[in-house]
Amino acid sequence: MVSIFDSTSLETSSVPDKPSGLKEDDRDSYIEREKSPVHMYDRLLNLASSALTEKEFRQEPSNFWNEPYDRASIWKPCADRKPSTSRGRHDQSNGYILVSANGGLNQQRVAICNAVAVASLLNATLVLPRFLYSNVWKDPSQFGDIYQETYFMDIMKDEIDIVKELPPDLKSVEIEAVGSLITDSDIVKEAKPVDYIRIVLPILLKNRVVHFLGFGNRLGFDPLPFELQRLRCKCNFHALKFVPKIQQVGSLLVRRIRKYDAANSMLDKQLFGKFMPSLSYKEHEVAKGPSKYLALHLRFEVDMVAYSLCEFGGGGTERKELQTYREIHFPLLIERLKNSKPVSPTELRKLGRCPLTPEEAALVLAGLGFKRGTYIYLAGSHVYGGKSRMQSFTSLYPNLVTKESLLTHTELAPFRNFSSQLAALDFIACASADVFAMTDSGSQLSSLVSGYRTYYGEGHAPSLRPNKKRLAQILSDNSTIEWNSFEDRVKKMIEEGQRIRVRGFGRSIYRQPRCPECMCKSQ
């Protein structure tokens, strides 16, 4: 397989969780401004390169291809189980809930499952959620363009009523005029059930319909009744299946990376449905390619870089460029900075608040023992600085591929101009990977993918989460640290993030489904 990497191949398919008003042309311009390669850690890069060359002559693979803890496999999916005690469905609904979700694919996915929980809480009928068109994402895709509508409704039918549209007598109601429009300013972030009962239920009972507009992160994780948490999990892990068009191309994408007769894993079955990747015997004999691959979600878009207020080794030119970008796209941030005590870029890095650069991501992978020949799928994003910024990464790991380099123009054509559908392909490639590595564990894509792998991975789907604060401490010694010491410290950092933990209070149930509401322990 030939790796193709250039600045134009990194189409955006997921965008930062913070809306920025960013336009596609803006992203492209920051990629096309190629500069000389920026290296912040020349000495470590040289040590990493020598270590990778040495490893080519050894047979031992990295231990991080596997889950380090056997206890990971004792947790089994069970959010779809019949509850022993149920909230119960009333004979008559209190009314209808409309949801117009904002954001990209991953934010909308969370909104859908939160809407299911709220509909159950209020004993309401959920109208199939709609997605708001945004000048940032510029994607007109609706629910049925991404997820299987009938499947979703069928899986959830024993829990809540879901319909495709309002009944005729409510279609003509002026939602805003009667006071049934609920915006994000009406419901606090991470709202509790009591907030919905106090604010929304009276409106629903009066008008028989409410419309949630935006609905971004408007339901907290705790405290929440057991059954509502279970419904969220059932929605996210069981009811939301990508449409066949996405499953089929996702299957093709994975087969182009990992050329082998696919194991019938539970994870792959959930992702691909009837389009399980497989090769005929004849194709298998001539196929050339790796038996496994690593997927990387590298969040180094200009949005993230500029918003962080960090510095990334580009000197005065970089500082000026990013400040100009902030003034155009983040005016509220600029105003806030005028009235607050500044924190230096050096201090921000020590606190772990800086996005990892491609160079830092490559050093982490090298420290974990992944060999130079490792095939790495890069989840679609516009890397700030383009090919010049990626040079340090590709010098260590040349087998870097994207959906644009793996699929033909014709195969990608139906997805172009539909960023959420492109993001779904990235979701599949990352969730199906033998190892999933992230550079920002707080992003929605990383959270949802790692949670999906935990839920369906049967204890054999490791995810790697660097602790940015600890990594900053390690990298601060870059001028003196020896490679063996660097490896040991990086491995300990990642191993700490892989410990088997039950979901903590307030933690995302989508990212950390190991809890009684979502999964069952087998002893």
Distance between alpha carbon 447 and the CA centroid of its chain, in Å? 5
State residue 430's pLDDT score: 97
* CA atoms within a 13 Å half-sphere pointing along the CA-CB vector of 372: 17
Contact by Cβ (8 Å): 126, 116 = yes
Contact by Cβ (8 Å): 67, 498 = yes
Instruction: Say if strands 181-183 and 209-214 run parallel, antiparallel, or are unpaired.
Output: parallel
Instruction: Say if strands 376-378 and 400-401 run parallel, antiparallel, or are unpaired.
Output: parallel
Measured distance CA(404)–CA(381) in Å, rounded = 11
Task: Please give the span between the terminal C-alpha atoms of the chain, in angstroms, as a whole number.
Answer: 43
- Please give the chain's pLDDT, 523 residues, in tens: 444 433 333 333 333 444 334 445 555 555 555 567 899 999 999 999 999 999 888 877 789 999 998 889 999 999 998 765 555 566 799 999 999 999 999 999 999 999 999 999 999 999 999 999 987 778 999 999 999 999 999 999 999 999 999 999 999 999 999 999 999 999 999 999 999 999 999 999 999 999 999 998 999 999 999 999 999 999 999 999 999 999 999 999 999 998 765 556 899 999 999 998 765 444 544 445 678 999 999 999 999 999 999 999 999 999 999 999 999 999 999 999 999 999 999 999 999 999 999 999 999 999 999 999 999 999 976 899 999 999 999 999 999 999 999 999 999 999 999 999 999 999 999 999 999 999 988 899 999 999 999 999 999 999 999 999 999 999 999 999 999 999 999 999 999 999 999 999 999 999 999 999 999 998 6
pTM over 0.85? The answer is yes
Whether the ω angle into residue 223 lies within 30 degrees of 0, i.e. cis, is yes
Q: Which of 266, 272, 268, 270 is nearest to 292 (CA)?
A: 268
State residue 289's pLDDT score: 62
Measured distance CA(523)–CA(519) in Å, rounded = 13
State residue 59's pLDDT score: 75
The owner of tokens 């991501």 is 361
Q: 377 has which bridge partners?
A: 295, 401
φ/ψ of residue 521, rounded to 5: -90, 130
- Alpha helices per DSSP H over 368-443: 386-396, 403-406, 409-412, 419-432
Task: List the chain domain ranges.
Answer: 37-66+243-278+289-299+355-522, 96-239, 301-344
Measured distance CA(138)–CA(333) in Å, rounded = 24
What 8-state DSSP symbol labels residue 128? Answer: P
Q: Which residues contact 378 (CB under 8 A, 6 or more apart)?
A: 10, 296, 298, 400, 401, 402
State residue 415's pLDDT score: 96
| Burial of 250: CB neighbours in 10 Å, binned 0-12, 13-18, 19+ | buried
Q: Which residues contact 79 (CB under 8 A, 6 or more apart)?
A: 230, 233, 234, 237, 238, 513, 517, 518, 519
Q: Which residues contact 317 (CB under 8 A, 6 or more apart)?
A: 35
Q: Which of 133, 153, 131, 132 is nearest to 143 (CA)?
A: 131
463: left (phi over 0), alpha (psi -120 to 50) or beta: beta
State residue 86's pLDDT score: 52
Residue count of the chain, please give it. 523
State residue 62's pLDDT score: 86
* Integer CA distances (angstroms), 462 to 8, 270, 401, in order: 30, 17, 20
